[in-house]
Amino acid sequence: MSLKHAVLGLVIERRGYGYDLVQRLQKRLGGGWQLNPSAVYTALDQLEREQLVASVQQPGATVRSQRVVYDATPAGTTVLDAWLRSAGPPLEPIRSDLHLKLVLAGPAHREALLSQLAAREEACAALLAEYEQTSASSSRRLVDAAVVGRLRADLAWIREAVAELRTNGVPVD
């Protein structure tokens, strides 16, 4: 996902300042999306350099209470519309450090891999339980469905990897 475009979309919906935009995006995406708040500020800087948003310093009672508020430019609206209509990449690659470890590990690493898989299984199961206990707003329902599907697939893969490691050990080419 292009975080830059997501931030631009939020600014087009309603102007806002950095922290506000972070909160709005986190609410929209839910806990399954690992949002780094500093990435929102980086996206805002990039959008401003590209003249897709404009910033205005709002006065405050103190220097600390001053806020920079972002508003979309007409060019920003055009760029977001084009992005929303574009096909995008055919498929996002699936990449994980754990995948790399599995293809590079030797027999001496078996227990460490099993431990890492167990930790990942626990984290996936906890997040899945959290999603299954909450009902999302209609605007987030499809994103949540994607997260749940991904978590279930990850759990199935983890269980397959654990069974393979326990049965056959670490494959060495």
DSSP letter string, 99-156: HHHHHH--GGGHHHHHHHHHHHHHHHHHHHHHHHH----TTTHHHHHHHHHHHHHHHH
Q: Is the pLDDT of residue 85 over 70?
A: yes
Same domain, 69 and 125: no
Residue 91 resides in a domain: no
The parent domain of residue 161 ranges over 97-168
Residue 145 resides in a domain: yes
Q: Is the pTM of this model over 0.75?
A: no
Same domain, 163 and 113: yes
User: Across residues 93-112, what is the average pLDDT?
Assistant: 87
Q: Is the pLDDT of residue 1 over 60?
A: no
Same domain, 138 and 162: yes
Domain count, the chain: 2
User: pLDDT tens-digit profile of 6-27?
Assistant: 999 999 999 999 999 999 998 8
How much is the pLDDT for 11?
A: 96
User: pLDDT tens-digit profile of 109-165?
Assistant: 999 999 999 999 999 999 888 887 776 666 678 888 888 899 999 999 999 999 999
